[in-house]
Amino acid sequence: MSLDKTADCLFCRIARKEVPAKVLFEDDRVLAFEDIRPQAPAHVLVIPKAHIASLEDAPAGSEELLGACLVAARRAAREKGVDATGYRVVLNTGPDSGQVVFHVHFHVLGGRRLGWPPG
């Protein structure tokens, strides 16, 4: 069994190009790709390339990286054409929130009217 927690992390594997994904864009810190089970006409996931299991696990000093993810979420909304009508950015933290993949990821959802409250 590997002690490297990134070895089996699905999103780390996507970032390393070991698992295919429909990539919208990337840079040296973040990756944005289409969700394979979209919950809205536009549904993009934005991840840091560095492995952070959840927001609760974000180390001190990760503010710049998490901020880069939010700026990337805005870019994803613009590239998907939902910036003018509105979009939602969701970050689930922990099992009760619905987090399934334990690698921080921001959902960017849009393209239809979204209900409130979510969940």
Distance CA 74, CA 89 (A): 9
- What amino acid positions are annotated as catalytic residues? 105
Distance CA 3, CA 8 (A): 10
Number of H helices, E strands in the chain: 2, 5
